[in-house]
Structure formats: C-alpha cells, structure tokens
Amino acid sequence: MYVGTLSFDVLLGDVRSLKEKRSVVRPIIAELQRKYAVSVAEVGDQDLYRRARIGLAVVSGDTGHLTDVLDRCERFVAARPEVELLSVRRRFHGDHDD
C-alpha cells in the first residue's frame, strides 16, 4: 500500500472576503474529489482571505498509478485561472516507512 500527499499553497485572485474565498476554494476541492476520487480539504490559512492551503491524499497499491493521479491533480490546480499556485509539496509513504 502506498499513500501520496500533496499540499498546495495558493494565492487567490480578486478576493476581498472570506465568503468570496470559500466561493473559489470549495469548487476546486469538490472538482478534485469528483474527478480524481481523492481526499482533499482546506488545511491551512483559513483566516487569510487571499491565501489557501489545500491538502490532498490518495491511496493506491501501485506507485505508477499514485504518481499519475498526483500529477493530474497538480496540473488541475495549476491550470485554474482564479488561483496562482505558489508551491506544491509532494510526499510518498509506503510499506517500508516506520
């Protein structure tokens, strides 16, 4: 079993309130869940209205499939015109980890 995680740090465009932030972040999270069957949530910077940290996890028995899903999720977020992707942190965890 392998677990892959991504942590996105994104800057939101023309957002002036936490309510507007939710209207941008929630559809991204919902689309990632629907399209790629991953677990995803806003995991940080909840009190900042122009920044968001989104965490994503996927479990697979095959590292190739895991890498492919993470790559597609990263490209999806990077291609969104309403956000600027500042950084991405990728981690893999496998059976050999303690």
Per DSSP, what are the bridge partners of residue 36? none
Give the span between the Cα atoms of 89 and 33, in whole angstroms.
Answer: 19
Q: Inform me whether the pLDDT recorded for 81 exceeds 80.
A: yes
Give alpha helix (H) positions in 1-98: 18-36, 63-78
Average pLDDT score over residue span 4-11: 95
Helix (H, G, I), strand (E, B) or coil at 96: coil
Task: Quote the distance between the C-alpha of residue 76 and its chain's center.
Answer: 9
Q: Tell me the average pLDDT of the chain.
A: 92
Average pLDDT score over residue span 85-94: 93
Which CA distances in Å does 39 have to 1, 14, 17?
16, 27, 26
Enter the pTM of the model: 0.87
